[in-house]
Structure 1
Amino acid sequence: MHALRTVAGPLSPARIRGPVLAHEHLALDLGRAGDPEARLDPARHAEPVTAELAALREQYGLALVVELTCRGMGRDAGALRRIAEASGVAVVAATGWYYAAFHPPEVTGAGPGGGTRAEDLTELLVREITGGLDGTGVRPGVLGEIGSHGELPSPAEHRVFAASSAAALATGLPVSTHAQLGRGGLAQLKLLTDGGLPAHRVCIGHQDLLDDPGTHRELAAAGAYVAFDTIGKESYQSDATRLRLLLALVEAGHGDRALLSCDISRHSYLRGEGGQGYGHLFRSFLPRLRAAGADDDLIDLLTRRNPLRFLTGSTAEVN
Structure 2
Amino acid sequence: MNASLQTVSGPLPASAVRGPVLAHEHLALDLTRGADSAATLTPGHRAAITEELASLRAEFGLGLLIELTCRGMGRDVAAMARIAADSGVAVVAATGWYYEPFHPAELSRTSAERLARTLVGEIERGCGGSGIRPGVIGEVGSHGDRPSEPEARTLTAAALAATATGLSVATHAQFGRGGLAQLELLTAAGLSPDRVSIGHQDLLDDPAVHRELAAAGAYIAFDTVGKESYQSDRVRLRLLLALLESGHADRVLLSCDVSRHGYLVSEGGMGYGHLFRSFLPRLRAAGVDEEMIDRLTRRNPLRFLTGRDGADDGPPEPGGGRADGAPR
Give per-residue Cα distances to partners, 1:183-202, cap 9 Å, x unaligned: 00000000000111110000
- Tell me how far 1:315 sits from its aligned partner: 4.9
Matches within 5 A, 1:1-319: 1-41=2-42, 43-109=43-109, 116-315=110-309, 318-319=312-313
Q: Bigger CA drift: 306-315 or 285-294?
A: 306-315
Q: Is the 8 A contact 2:302 2:311 kept in 1?
A: no
CA offsets, 1:30-73, max 9 Å, x none? 011211100001x2011000000000000000000000000000
Return 5+ residue gaps in structure 1 as ranges.
110-115
Give me the whole-angstrom Cα distance separating, in 2, the residues matched to 1:266 and 1:309.
Answer: 28
Structure with bigger RCO (C-alpha 8 Å, 6+ apart): 2
Partner Cα distance (2:114, 2:79) in 1? 28
Q: Tell me if the contact between 1:270 and 1:276 (Cα under 8 Å) persists in the aligned partners.
A: yes
Distance 1:316 1:209 in 2: 31
Separation (CA, whole Å) in 2 of partners of 1:317 and 1:224: 18
**What is the one-letter code of the residue matched to 1:162?**
T
Aligned letter for 2:31? L
CA distance in 1, matches of 2:48, 2:228: 22
Structure 2: tracts of 5 or more residues without a match: 314-328
4+ residue segments displaced more than 3 Å: none
What is the Cα deviation at residue 317 of structure 1? 7.3
The DSSP-based 3-state class of the residue aligned with 1:253 is coil
Displacement, 1:316?
5.5
1:299 is paired with a residue whose SS is helix
CA RMSD of superposed structures (Å)? 0.9
* Structure 1 contact 77–134 (Cα < 8 Å) conserved: no
What's the TM-score once normalised by structure 2's chain length? 0.94
In structure 1, what is the Cα distance between the partners aligned to 2:201 and 2:239?
9
Task: Give the drift of 1:144.
Answer: 0.1
* Aligned residue in 1 for 2:318: none
Partner amino acid for 1:93? A
- Measured in 1, the distance between the counterparts of 2:302 and 2:111 equals 32
Classify the secondary structure of the residue corresponding to 1:33: coil
CA displacement, residues 213-238 of structure 1 (integer Å, 9 cap, x when unaligned): 00000000000000000000000000
The count of residues paired between Structure 1 and Structure 2 equals: 312
Find the residue that maps to 1:133 and give its secondary structure.
coil
In structure 2, what is the Cα distance between the partners aligned to 1:309 and 1:174?
Answer: 10
